Amino acid sequence: MNTTQTYTPQEDGAHSDGSKIPYSATCYAEQKDKVILENAYLTKEEIVKACQLVEASGADYVKTSTGFASTGAILEDVKLMRASVSPKMEVKSAGGVKNLDMLLAFMDAGVKRSGASAAAAMLDEFKERFGA
pLDDT band at 52 (very low <50, low <70, confident <90, very high): very high
State the pTM of this model: 0.76
34's CB contacts (< 8 A; 6+ apart) are 25, 59, 60, 61, 62, 63, 92
Interatomic CA distance for residues 118 and 101, integer angstroms: 12
**Bridging pattern class, strands 113-115 and 61-63:** unpaired
- Give me the half-sphere count of Cα atoms (radius 13 Å) on the Cβ side of residue 67: 12
> What band does 29 get if pLDDT is binned at 50, 70 and 90?
low
Mean pLDDT over 66-79 rounds to: 90
Instruction: In whole angstroms, give the CA distance from residue 27 to residue 132.
Output: 36
